[in-house]
Structure 1
Amino acid sequence: FKPESEDEQLPKNRQSDKDLNLKDRRRAQSLPAYPAELLDGVSGSEVRKRVKFADSMGLNLASVKHFSSLEEPKIPSKVLSRHKSFPPQHDLLNDLCQSFKTSLDTDRLVCCFPEPRDSERRVQQLRVCLERVTITQFDVRGQIRVFTGCTDNEVGVRYTFNDWLSHVDSQALPVAADGPGFVGERFDFTVYTPPFMDPSSAVHLAVYLKNEEGVFWDNNEGQNYTLRYICMPSSAPFVSAAFHAT
């Protein structure tokens, strides 16, 4: 015969000691969530978080603090001296604006071809010709003259900023003729140039006419109409490079 458990073989006093040790171990496994003195007299159902609003307790929802000049914060002298060492922001902005204005006044496109002349003769010979050019600080505007008996005409300018590695066609818009004896029609175009270009860069352009009779070009006798970007002395006043004022 063997006992069912070792506890049956132990004396009663030793068995009670073992039970106490087990209870102590169970209690030592974790600390209580709240100190015992805070939970005295409080049941488990009452241990809950409660929210109370200030106005329900007769308190103000906001408080206003008024400061006087005597209560202004005192800034250390080291911080003030460092702050004064930086230039004012409006001075920096003025310097940037002046620098940008100076670059506009000194850097510009200029025409590298003579002023077009004999428009009536050229337009009858070529069917299309560049009649005038005006250069501003941001674009190039021109006037094209065409001579054709067709009513469906496409007139425009082809230009490039990279020596014809790529190009853009810009269609011109018709404008009113000068008078009853005027030969042909007139069209205006605008080419927008980049705000900043390399001193060695240039704009090449040619004007065209497309209709049912074919495609006709005026490219300055194969040389193209070239406008080169150059830097001028800052002391020189800005004078428009236009042949004619608009």
Structure 2
Amino acid sequence: IVVPRTDSSRRLYTGIFPVAIRPPSPRTAPPRERTARRSFSCEPEPRPIMRRRARSLPSSAERQARGSPRVRFVDSLGLELECVKLFEAGEDPAVPVHVMSRLLASSELATGKSLELTLPYFQPSFPGNMAGAPGFLRRLCRQRVCLETIHCSELGIAGTVQVLNQAFEKQVTVHYSFTDWKSASDSKASWVSTVHRDGAEPESDVFRFRLPVPPFILQPNVTLQFAICFQVLGEEFWDNNDGHNYKLACHTYKLIVPKECEASMVHFT
């Protein structure tokens, strides 16, 4: 192959040897100038979205290093649901009477014995129907307030009071205590009806009150005392059983439950 020589930079070869031609040097394209494009849209120019992990959210590796999360249960006030009390040697925990009675009833049923319950109750030291006693109206006119009736049950103590109708605005409060007046509470009575009398006898209003009796109070030798306060026209009038207060003593009685009623009575107690 004969290649004619054109310039001094190229050589002539004969035979089957290839001709070495030096390739042209690469050329870099000139930088393009950014041309400002005019947009007629009101929307902002889109920007790239960068996703970042919140600082408060730990990564999976951090969660594994910290271990499993701890769960803590509290009540509606934020207090602990668990309470631990350490008893000293010789200090026996006090079991309430109503809880002990349930345990004894269950043990009697398990051994096949007849179920015998010991039930507490309050007994007044005064007549339950004070309105039926002689001289009630005369006493009412003298004191302006008098206890009318009293009723004791498992749900508590309820009673009625009569007061003279001296004004429309009046208030009746029962002041009572289970601890011989070392501590006391008040229970407001609510209006029930008006008693109209013939002749010159005055009218009176009837109020009803309720005294709650907690289960732990129902123990032998516990006495409930109360007095009634009547407020009207800026004055106070009291009925305290002629200075002795109204007293109810707690007693107990035993009840043998029939065999056919044992299951229902144990569930009820």
Rounded Cα–Cα distance in structure 2 between residues aligned with 1:232 and 1:119: 33
Rounded Cα–Cα distance in structure 1 between residues aligned with 2:219 and 2:255: 17
Task: Give unmatched runs, 5+ long, in structure 1.
Answer: 1-91, 237-246
TM-score normalised to structure 2 length: 0.47
1:165 Cα shift? 0.8
| Residue matched to 1:189 | 209
Q: 1:224 aligns with which of 227, 237, 245?
A: 245
Q: 1:108 aligns with which of 121, 130, 134?
A: 121
Q: How many residues align?
A: 143
* Counterpart contact for 1:138–1:194, Cα < 8 Å: no
1:213 Cα shift? 4.2
| Residue matched to 1:210 | 231
Q: 1:153 aligns with which of 151, 170, 176?
A: 170
| Residue matched to 2:69 | none
* Counterpart contact for 1:138–1:195, Cα < 8 Å: no
| Residue matched to 2:35 | none
* Counterpart contact for 2:157–2:210, Cα < 8 Å: yes
Q: 1:220 to 1:97 in 2, by over 3 A?
A: farther
SS at match of 2:219: coil
Task: Give unmatched runs, 5+ long, in structure 2.
Answer: 1-102, 258-269
Rounded Cα–Cα distance in structure 2 between residues aligned with 1:101 and 1:219: 38
1:148 Cα shift? 3.8
* Counterpart contact for 1:133–1:142, Cα < 8 Å: yes
Q: Does 1:169 align with 2:189?
A: no
1:232 Cα shift? 1.9
Q: 1:125 to 1:96 in 2, by over 3 A?
A: farther
| Percentage of identical aligned residues | 29
Rounded Cα–Cα distance in structure 2 between residues aligned with 1:95 and 1:138: 23
Q: Does 1:198 align with 2:215?
A: no
Query: Which deviates the most, 165-174 or 144-153?
Result: 144-153
What code does the residue aligned with 1:201 have? V
* Counterpart contact for 1:207–1:218, Cα < 8 Å: yes
Q: 1:149 to 1:190 in 2, by over 3 A?
A: same
Q: 1:122 aligns with which of 120, 139, 152?
A: 139
Q: 1:101 to 1:139 in 2, by over 3 A?
A: farther
TM-score normalised to structure 1 length: 0.51
| Residue matched to 2:106 | 95
Q: 2:153 aligns with which of 136, 149, 156?
A: 136
SS at match of 2:137: helix
Rounded Cα–Cα distance in structure 2 between residues aligned with 1:191 and 1:96: 33
Rounded Cα–Cα distance in structure 2 between residues aligned with 1:174 and 1:230: 31
Rounded Cα–Cα distance in structure 2 between residues aligned with 1:125 and 1:97: 56
Structure whose residues are more often helix by fraction? 1
Deviation by residue 1:73-129 (Cα, 9 ceiling, x = unmatched): xxxxxxxxxxxxxxxxxxx898289899923xx311111123422432221110001
Q: 1:93 to 1:229 in 2, by over 3 A?
A: closer
Considering only aligned residues, what root-mean-square deviation do their CA atoms show, in Å? 3.1
What code does the residue aligned with 1:95 have? S
What code does the residue aligned with 1:112 have? S
